[in-house]
Amino acid sequence: MKCGKFITLEGGEGVGKSTNLAFIKTHLEQHSIPVVVTREPGGTYLAEKIRNLLLDNESEKLTETAELLLMFAARSQHIKHVIEPALAAGNWVLCDRFTDASYAYQGGGRSMKASAIEWLEHFVQGALRPDLTLLLDAPVDVGIERARQRGQFDRFEMEQNTFFERVRRAYLLQMELNPERIKLIKANQPLGDVQRSIADALRVFLK
Ligand code: TMP
């Protein structure tokens, strides 16, 4: 059923996702590709409400299980109401984070079992997987410093650097396990070089 391509952008905190998301959107549009840009957790009315619950740092302590289930509850809404209809209509979907973030943050950061995440991935997504994932990678210190300069911290940004080291390692493991789909983009280099690497990774899809 899927017609358009499903592209996801991943990475730890402060690796430049927003800037590069805008770059990818423009790059695809320059190739006359209709793009729907969206994000996780979020992307629908209800999923954005779930996002607020997940990022709220003043609520009662969220259990790791509740955190994981809320991520996938939001994802289910997002897939059914935004991603699948957009792809079926021939759009490309460019999504700021997707399930690799669950492997990285809940699996790596929170040390939850990958088997639980895998089960939810199959249950919630069926066969839906991204066609391409761009993983922006930078040393944790560099990213955290950039993220913290933005001001107010959400519930994840308040975590210790050791948490983000586990997140980074889990992302890199996801890349090793899915070498065809996940392309590493070194984010700790001049923006022009980052964007050249992104354009290279997209080239095969633009033929
Ligand atoms: P951001 O996308 O605006 O950076 O913030 C979303 C936060 O949610 C970010 O800290 C990563 C986290 N997250 C997870 O922990 N698991 C997930 O599956 C997703 C999509 C995001």
As a whole number, mean pLDDT of residues 167-187 equals 98
Q: Give the lowest-confidence range in 47-51, 112-116, 157-161, 177-181.
A: 157-161
As a whole number, mean pLDDT of residues 141-149 equals 85
For residue 186, list its beta bridge partners.
137
Q: Atom of ligand 1 at shortest distance to CA of 72?
A: 18
Give the position of tokens 């983009």: 185
| CATH code, residues 6-203 | 3.40.50.300
pLDDT score for 109: 98
Q: Are 35 and 159 in contact (CB under 8 A)?
A: no
Q: What is the dihedral of CA 181, 16, 166, 8, to 10 degrees?
A: -30
CB atoms within 10 A of CB 107: 25
Categorize the per-residue pLDDT at 1 as very low, low, confident or very high, splitting at 50, 70 and 90. low
What is the whole-number distance in angstroms between the Cα of residue 97 and the centre of ligand 1? Answer: 7
Which of 94, 103, 105 has the most ligand 1 atoms within 8 A of CB, as the residue to mutate? 105
CB of 163 closer than 6 angstroms to any ligand 1 atom: no
Write down the pTM of the prediction.
0.96
The average confidence (pLDDT) of the chain is: 96
pLDDT score for 150: 82
Q: Are 193 and 162 in contact (CB under 8 A)?
A: no
Residue ranges of domains in the chain: 6-203
Which of 156, 164, 167 has the most ligand 1 atoms within 8 A of CB, as the residue to mutate? 156
As a whole number, mean pLDDT of residues 155-184 equals 96
Q: Atom of ligand 1 at shortest distance to CA of 54?
A: 8
Give the amino acid at 28. L
> Residue 175 and residue 157: Cα distance in Å, rounded?
23
Note the pLDDT tens digit of each residue in 86-123: 999 999 999 999 999 999 999 999 999 999 999 999 99
pLDDT score for 149: 84
Note the pLDDT tens digit of each residue in 49-82: 999 999 999 989 999 999 999 999 999 999 999 9
Peptide bond connecting 34 to the previous residue in cis, omega within 30 degrees of 0:
no
